[in-house]
């Protein structure tokens, strides 16, 4: 029996594949009503009022923060759950050793039992959405069915949602991602995020948190899209896209992969230092890039998203002034702290710590408390149009041509400020072995390097060795490939101080990389790659930086680094491309010979 459609609402499509699937899922989940989202401003207002009435959203001070609302999630549901995220391929080998695997039929059976009747008493929201500019040949259509009005409102910010997606799908196409989401009883014991690449399907249950519940983001745009990209000959990557315009008006574009806590959004929204007057940095995207080979032989990228789902703690006027301006209006805040007069606060925000706050759980909080006022993973969801540094090309159907690909992790030693690869193969190797150091709180040991190839370890939708093979194979597809660089903003001196100031001063490194792409600046060839020579980096006006220390190559440290990578390569297993192991061996031989 079909679940009732909301009174007075006509189904906005006649697409038989879509209608049949919605009916089938509604029959299983048994909602009281089914509502089809159209993406209109009127609908946003109506759903927001519904969410406020139901206690899902709390209005903030509408004079200080117009259009902004607060949401606090279940305390057991505050982050992505990698250990409960599964790739459901016919064989375990297809998922690979770095992913959790579940057989497709087992996953469908297990989750169907949880979905059965999970939406009783609730509304099922049908959320049609497009990832990518709506008129772009890159774009993909998804349909998310959810029982969370919070998710529906977030998808309205993060994607091109509603009628635009149904128009793109058309009346007959069955080419859409089938995403089913239910918070259900929000029980961690009954929480699963399952991806079925061969079926272009995502089932997520038991969580209302963004990365687990906004299925267009990590689930479709990376895990499913990376699988599609392998089969279709393109790249779906966890990368920012940045536009750099010189004082003469020349525009260049870079894509950059950084694991969490490595300054990715800050780099995408960077404000250049005073010495770079006339330069403009604009954001095309801050998190995901879909890249295809254009007719001109270059790699062209689009940002599939339409909003920012950013981490709040640590965001302030120094680290990211453009983000602070972006979140002033029409923003949903999740698990931040609040002031009693309806403002928001988090650790690392500008100004004095307030004497009293309402913490992320809704409890009273006083200055000096041992507990965090905002959750460390508290978030903001804001429209891209709010960004004062938004590139006009963010919605270009063709995308933008990528001049350079940048890989960067958080390393206190070994990895220099910037390193250019010798060629594409060496660049893939640098991306495949990049990583960040863990903390004692997380692992019980300080300085353990967690390898995170291309920052895709949690987001690759298939076997990691096959993913790296696809990267190597892309060289044959790209007649004019981008240059590849490795950066590290986080190198420290022996007394624990950062050698490089970071933030806006990263423009100095970006300028050198862009000049290298054009052959306009020199470099020093080392055993590991090309680094800036003394005087190559523009350091005008820069104080308190140890340029020599930040850019130094320590061959002893690198010998240990290269030898330590064997453990990571062994974990990838038999599908590791032999070219990458050969790269490691060749570099190790060069390092030892140069010592």
**14 pLDDT above the threshold of 90:** yes
Q: What is the mean predicted confidence (pLDDT) over 314-340?
A: 97
Report residue 4 CA to chain centroid gap.
36
Known binding residue 30? Answer is no
Q: What is the pLDDT of residues 412-435, one digit of tens each?
A: 999 999 999 999 999 999 999 999
3-class DSSP assignment, residue 381: strand
Q: Are strands 192-196 and 235-237 parallel, antiparallel or unpaired?
A: unpaired
Q: What is the pLDDT of residues 245-289, one digit of tens each?
A: 999 999 999 999 999 878 899 999 999 999 999 999 999 999 999
Question: What does the alpha-carbon distance between residue 341 and residue 355 come to, in Å, rounded to a whole number?
Answer: 13
The domains of the chain are located at 16-55+78-233, 237-304+394-553, 308-386
Which pLDDT does position 445 carry in this prediction?
Answer: 59
Known binding residue 129? Answer is no
Average pLDDT, whole number, for the chain? 95
23/9: higher pLDDT: 23
Q: Which of 29, 262, 460, 517 is catalytic?
A: 262
Known binding residue 387? Answer is no
Tracing tokens 């089914």 back to the chain, one arrives at 34
Q: What is the pLDDT of residues 233-246, one digit of tens each?
A: 999 999 999 999 99
Residue 8 confidence class, pLDDT cut points 50, 70, 90: low
Question: In Å, how far are 96, 102, 169, 462, 573 from 92, measured between CA atoms?
Answer: 6, 8, 32, 10, 13
Tracing tokens 């899209």 back to the chain, one arrives at 225
Please tell me the CATH code under which domain 237-304+394-553 is placed: 3.90.228.20
Q: What is the mean predicted confidence (pLDDT) over 212-222?
A: 98
Tokens of 47: 């759903």
Question: What does the alpha-carbon distance between residue 213 and residue 186 come to, in Å, rounded to a whole number?
Answer: 12
Question: What does the alpha-carbon distance between residue 496 and residue 500 come to, in Å, rounded to a whole number?
Answer: 12
Beta-ladder partners of 382: 308
Known binding residue 168? Answer is no
Tokens of 456: 């895709």
Q: What is the mean predicted confidence (pLDDT) over 297-309?
A: 98
Known binding residue 377? Answer is yes
Tokens of 499: 């050698």
Q: What is the mean predicted confidence (pLDDT) over 27-56?
A: 98
Share of the chain above pLDDT 90, in %: 94
Q: What is the 3-state secondary structure (H, E, C) of 533-566?
A: CCCCCCCCCCCCCCHHHHHCCCHHHHHHHHHHHH
Asked if 237 contacts 454 with a C-beta cutoff of 8 angstroms, the reply is yes
Q: What is the pLDDT of residues 560-577, one digit of tens each?
A: 999 999 999 999 999 999
**183 pLDDT above the threshold of 90:** yes
Say whether 262 is catalytic.
yes
**442 pLDDT above the threshold of 50:** no
Domain 16-55+78-233 in CATH: superfamily? Phosphoenolpyruvate Carboxykinase, domain 1 (3.40.449.10)
Known binding residue 505? Answer is yes
3-class DSSP assignment, residue 41: helix
Q: pTM score, two decimals? A: 0.97
Q: Tell which residue, 239, 321, 312, 325, has the closest CA to residue 272.
A: 321
Looking at domain 308-386, its CATH class is: mainly beta
**439 pLDDT above the threshold of 60:** no
Asked if 551 contacts 416 with a C-beta cutoff of 8 angstroms, the reply is yes
Which pLDDT does position 447 carry in this prediction?
Answer: 67
């Amino acid at each position: 029996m079909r679940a009732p459609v909301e009174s007075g609402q006509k189904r906005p499509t006649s697409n038989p594949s879509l209608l049949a699937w919605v009916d089938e899922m509604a029959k299983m989940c048994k909602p009281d009503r089914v509502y089809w989202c159209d993406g209109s401003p009127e609908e946003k207002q109506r759903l927001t009022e519904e969410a406020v009435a139901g206690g899902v959203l709390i209005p903030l001070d509408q004079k200080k923060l117009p259009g902004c609302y607060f949401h606090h999630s279940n305390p057991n549901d505050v982050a992505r759950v990698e250990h409960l995220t599964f790739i459901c391929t016919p064989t375990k080998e297809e998922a690979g050793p770095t992913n959790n695997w579940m057989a497709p039929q087992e996953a469908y059976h297990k989750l169907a039992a949880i979905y059965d009747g999970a939406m009783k008493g609730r509304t099922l929201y049908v959320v049609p959405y497009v990832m990518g500019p709506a008129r772009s040949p890159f774009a993909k259509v998804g349909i998310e069915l959810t029982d969370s009005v919070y998710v529906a409102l977030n998808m309205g910010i993060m994607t091109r949602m509603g009628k635009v997606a149904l128009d793109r799908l058309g009346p007959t196409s069955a080419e859409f991602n089938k995403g089913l989401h239910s918070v259900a009883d929000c029980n961690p014991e009954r929480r699963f995020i399952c991806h079925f690449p061969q079926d272009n399907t995502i089932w997520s249950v038991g969580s209302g948190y963004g990365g687990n519940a906004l299925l267009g983001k990590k689930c479709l745009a990376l895990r499913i899209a990376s699988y599609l990209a392998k089969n279709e000959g393109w790249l779906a990557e966890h990368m920012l896209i940045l536009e750099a315009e010189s004082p003469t008006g020349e525009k260049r574009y870079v894509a950059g992969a950084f694991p969490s806590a490595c300054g990715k959004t800050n780099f995408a929204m960077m404000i250049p230092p005073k010495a770079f007057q006339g330069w403009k940095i604009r954001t095309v995207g801050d998190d995901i890039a879909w890249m295809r080979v254009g007719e001109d032989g270059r790699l062209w990228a689009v940002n599939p998203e339409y909003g920012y789902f950013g981490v709040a703690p640590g965001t302030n006027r120094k680290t990211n002034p453009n983000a602070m301006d972006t979140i002033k209006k029409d923003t949903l805040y999740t698990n931040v702290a609040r002031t009693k007069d309806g403002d928001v606060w988090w650790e690392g925000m500008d100004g004095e710590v307030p004497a009293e706050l309402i913490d992320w759980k809704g409890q009273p909080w006083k200055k000096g408390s041992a507990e965090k006022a905002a959750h460390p993973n508290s978030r903001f969801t804001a429209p891209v149009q709010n960004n004062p540094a938004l590139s006009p090309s963010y919605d270009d159907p063709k995308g933008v041509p990528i001049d350079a690909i940048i890989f960067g992790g958080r390393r206190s030693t070994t990895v220099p400020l910037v390193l250019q690869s010798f060629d594409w193969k060496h660049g893939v190797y640098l991306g495949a072995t990049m990583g960040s150091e863990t903390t004692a709180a997380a692992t019980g040991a300080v300085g353990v390097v967690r390898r995170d190839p291309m920052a895709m370890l949690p987001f690759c939708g298939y076997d990691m060795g096959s993913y790296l093979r696809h990267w190597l194979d892309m060289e044959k597809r790209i007649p004019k490939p981008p240059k590849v660089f490795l950066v590290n903003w986080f190198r420290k001196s022996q007394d624990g101080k950062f050698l490089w100031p970071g933030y806006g001063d990263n423009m100095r490194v970006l300028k050198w990389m862009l000049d290298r792409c054009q052959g306009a600046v020199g470099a020093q060839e080392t055993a590991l790659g090309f680094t800036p020579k003394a005087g190559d980096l523009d350091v005008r006006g820069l104080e308190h930086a140890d340029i020599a220390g930040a850019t130094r190559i320590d061959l002893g440290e690198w010998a240990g680094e290269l030898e330590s990578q064997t453990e990571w390569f062994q974990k990838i297993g038999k599908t590791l491309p032999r070219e990458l192991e050969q790269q490691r061996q060749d570099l190790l031989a060069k390092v030892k010979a140069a010592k």
